Structure 1
């Protein structure tokens, strides 16, 4: 065991013990924490294969980024692949992410993810384990660990899971724990999505992005708008706010209200239309995209 680690043990009778974990079958008697922890109102697990594709990692990272921007805690297992991408996405958003380990809190596995674990702790997140410090990570413990990933979360999102992925065990636990189970679909000819697609057949909710997840959690209002606005530049934000306040403006009207040149307004409007944030009516006037009003 490493020296000078700030490890905290929380027992079930401690007020800080997550209520969500108390409710699940085979609830742990206690959990060990390294980092910043408080029982969350909103936590979402994002899990998937260790042997992920660049596309799968992009989906996981983007989803985690956007959900973290919305104040969601991103929960995963610190494994290679989808887990790591989810943790990284939350960190890049300046959000909170928790890594649930399959061994002692001082035994980061895989060891090559120690830097990622340190970033989680140094930020607003933490490492969590039900195993005492010094416990080595054994294969069967990772399956048991998965019940904590789902148990501490409102919902589990599975991204890119083959037929025998450990992420499917997390989804099965989530079903039993009465948590929402969501899955991102993939090609029926790709082995990488065989497990994900099967979950959807078994009742998992099909989701494509963070906006879909938020909608399923009852947070549809403003969700798409806030997610889409994350990557806008300052001029685009000015134009969006003006059009939102008074729809049906043309380029000259928008320029007068934003103090931007007609050329700049035209260029930024083109970007906003491509991003499906603003629509052109066909008469040279602009309105908020119908997709943000759904």
Structure 2
């Protein structure tokens, strides 16, 4: 139900220097968005880090009129308005320091279900498409919500495979609900809602899909889920920012490794090499890491290690055997044990991860698979 607090929250968030963090400071200080709207301009010094310039726009009647129109728009289009400070946001997202003050939702989002965020490049290859298809086929008996960004490529494939496997899916938009970008995915967005999924955005109906909105949107994709999977991305791709947000929120990140010559595997390989993501070696291992109770039927490995005899190089064999003898050994200890500098060990470990022989943990610790 929309209340007066929702009206004042939308108006307050619309003020030019009131971002999500300043919004939360004001609400914590004054107790509500309505009270902040009415008193913060005179008593701004009560809030830490808030100056006169920050509150200059507060109280502007134009923002209240905008908020009234926004609420009317939402009521007309069956859009739910959720406020973080009223504990209306999805639980995991609300835990993030920079969570949106206001979140708009169309459709259904069952917050009691596990969430898995899956992102990647708009230039999806057959390799990425195959992985997504196999992942959803293997997990279709599990109860969870897939989360992605409704972009072309990987995002589109994630939403479509979710629908095909009867798994609810949530798309996070980089604009308001007055439009749908990209327009090619309009029918897909309608299908998401028809099949019990949701469209989410922090942007009101005046906001267009400006370039900076997409990075901002990515933090919500990361914040909604305990785990983010990066399927394919190039160096500096938008999905790398989603992984960075997930790392900042202390969430799990998994990346699909690929050939170093494949441009849309290079971002994933870099995340793995920098210990910002765990390498995906097989669908089965990924399901185990995600906590899915997969069926007793054998889940096919993404890479058929057992069918191929892998001949390790001398350095690979030395590092592998040492990790095998010392589970969860640290990089520093490993360097000392085998008398090899850490900068030479890291590339070898990445090679072993790509071969599915070794797994990395936070804190630069390693174990064999």
Q: Could you state the TM-score of these two structures normalised by the residue count of structure 1? A: 0.72
Match of 1:225 among 296, 320, 327: 296
Cα gap change, 1:68/1:154 in structure 2, threshold over 3 Å: closer, same or farther?
Answer: farther
Find the aligned partners of 1:33 and 1:44 in 2 and give their Cα distance: 18
Q: Which residue of 2 aligns with 1:205?
A: 278
What is the aligned residue count?
A: 228
Q: Relative contact order (alpha carbons < 8 A, sep ≥ 6): 1 or 2 greater?
A: 1
- How far apart, CA to CA, are the structure 2 residues paired with 1:88 and 1:135? 26
Superposed displacement of residue 206, structure 1: 1.0
- Quick one: distance in 1 between partners of 2:102 and 2:298? 36
Summarize the alignment of residues 93-108 of structure 1 with structure 2, pairs less than 5 Å apart: 93-108=165-180
Q: Where does 1:36-75 land on structure 2 (aligned, <5 Å)?
A: 36-75=108-147
Structure 2 CA distance, aligned partners of 1:68 and 1:114? 25
* Counterpart in the other structure of 2:258: 186
Aligned to 1:214: 287
> Comparing 209-218 with 118-127, which one deviates more in the overlay?
209-218
Residue 187 of structure 2 corresponds to 115
Whole-Å Cα distance in 1 between the matches of residues 88 and 112 of structure 2? 10
What's the CA shift string for 1:54-89, capped at 9, x where partnerless? Answer: 221221233234334311210000001111111111
Q: 1:138 to 1:121 in 2, by over 3 A?
A: same
Report what 2:198 is aligned to: 126
Q: CA-to-partner distance for each residue in 1:173-230, whole Å, 9 max, x for gaps?
A: 00000000000110111111000001111221111444322211334xx42536849x
State the 1:92 CA deviation.
0.5
Secondary structure at 1:69's aligned position in 2? coil
CA contact (8 A) 1:107 1:137 kept: no
TM-score, scaled to structure 2: 0.58
Counting only pairs closer than 5 Å after superposition, residues 230-245 of structure 1 correspond to structure 2 as none
Structure 1, 210-219 or 23-32: larger mean CA deviation: 210-219
Contact 1:46 1:64 survives alignment (8 Å): no
Give the Å deviation of 1:2.
Answer: 10
The answer to which of 22-31 and 170-179 deviates more is 22-31
Contact 2:176 2:203 in 1 (8 A): yes
CA root-mean-square deviation: 2.2
- CA distance, structure 2, for counterparts of residue 55 and residue 215 of structure 1: 22
Q: Aligned partners of 2:190 and 2:183: how far apart in 1?
A: 11
Distance in 2, matches of 1:20 and 1:57, equals 28
- Partner in structure 2 of residue 84 of structure 1: 156
1:6 to 78, 84, 95: 78
Choose 163-172 or 64-73, whichever is displaced more.
64-73
Matched, 1:170 2:224: no
State the secondary structure of the residue aligned to 1:43.
strand
Larger CA Rg, structure 1 vs 2 = 2
* Distance in 1 (alpha carbons) for counterparts of 2:172 and 2:137: 19
Kindly provide the CA deviation profile for residues 230-269 of structure 1, in whole angstroms up to 9, marking residues without a partner as x. xxxxxxxxxxxxxxxxxxxxxxxxxxxxxxxxxxxxxxxx
Alignment partner of 1:29 is 2:101: yes
SS class of match (1:157): strand
Q: Which moved more, 1:116-125 or 1:49-58?
A: 49-58
